[in-house]
Amino acid sequence: MDQQHLLMAARVESNNLRQAVMNSPRPARQGAFTLVEVMLSVAIFTAVMIAIYASWSAILRGSRSGQAAAAEAQRSRVAVRALENSLMSLQMFLANIKYDYFQADTSGDFATLSFVARLAKSFPRSGDFGDQVLRRLTFSVEPGTNSDNVLVLRQNPILFQASADEEENPLVLARGVKEFTLEFWGPRSKDWEPEWLYTNQLPKLIKFTLGFGRPNQRGLKPEDLVTRVVSLAAIPVPPGVQMAGGGGGQTRPANPNIQPPPGTQVPRSPPIGSK
């Protein structure tokens, strides 16, 4: 009897447990991502990365363009300052006109300017010449890289032959030069003249214009042009006034490596000690 009761109780307990298991809530089924969801996620990630790269590239290009523009603007200021400072330091001794001649050629597409000046130590490349503060300067425009023109400066001491390095590697003052013109205040016309035809004389005023632009740029805007008027403080010194060591009219020693330009008049200086 007791065994039957125990068996029945076990069956009842088993039924109750089975019913409880069947009535208990089942956990939600955990499924993986589908292929469409994966492809969509990859596409969104790629679009975000492309946008970030495009923004970074635009910022980098803008920074480079700004740095290049600032460098070119600085170069143009250096070129203008070099022309102004050198012209204000110009000198000419008629007893040494073979070395101190003033030459300005405005017949080509770009002007060329050559003269002698006594330069300060702060002038560009002065450290390459030591104590040779009296140098001939030649400003000219030559073809550069990327189909643009550059304004270059060559320097050489008066009594020394020009170095090969200075001739082959001149100082580049400005790039993208589209215009370099010169005008001179005529002593007779009292107006600006495009040429300087007065031998062994110096103009009182020189006006130079520099225009800067891109290689493929056709026309120049007013803001691309820089014009300066320089008043020359120097006058041609006559041979009788040029003194050295108490003598009268003593000139520099001749240098056979330096020849005056064609057509330059070379006046003869009086002997040392003559009156």
Instruction: Give the pLDDT score at 264.
Output: 46
Helix (H) / strand (E) element for 149: namely strand 149-157
* pLDDT tens figures, 57-106: 888 888 887 777 677 777 788 899 999 999 999 988 888 888 888 999 99
Secondary structure letter of residue 107 according to DSSP: S
How does the average pLDDT of the chain come out, rounded? Answer: 79
* Range with lowest mean pLDDT among 25-39, 70-84, 102-116, 159-173: 25-39
Distance CA(44)–CA(50), nearest Å, equals 10
Does residue 25 carry a pLDDT above 70? no
Question: Averaged over 128-139, what is the pLDDT?
Answer: 91
Residue 211 pLDDT exceeds 70: yes
Distance CA 86, CA 91 (A): 10
CA 263 – CA 255 distance, rounded (Å): 19
**How many angstroms separate the CA atoms of 116 and 97, rounded?**
10
Task: Read off the pLDDT of residues 256-274 as tens digits, 9 standing for 90 and up.
Answer: 444 555 544 444 433 333 3
What's the pLDDT score for residue 135? Answer: 92
114 touches 138 (CB < 8 A): yes
**3-class secondary structure, 87:** helix
Give the pTM. 0.65
Which of 173, 174, 154 shows the shortest CA–CA distance to 164?
Answer: 154
Average pLDDT over residues 136-165: 87
Q: Looking at residue 247, what is its pLDDT?
A: 42
Cα gap 115→202, rounded to integer Å: 10
Q: What percent of the chain has pLDDT over 70?
A: 75
The alpha carbon of residue 236 and the mean position of all alpha carbons in its chain are separated, in whole angstroms, by: 34
- Within 8 A by CB and 6+ apart from 214, the residues are 148, 176
Q: Grade residue 220 by pLDDT with cuts at 50, 70 and 90.
A: confident
- Per-residue confidence (pLDDT) for residue 230, from 0 to 100: 94
Distance CA 49, CA 39 (A): 15
Strand pairing report for 225-231 and 243-244: unpaired
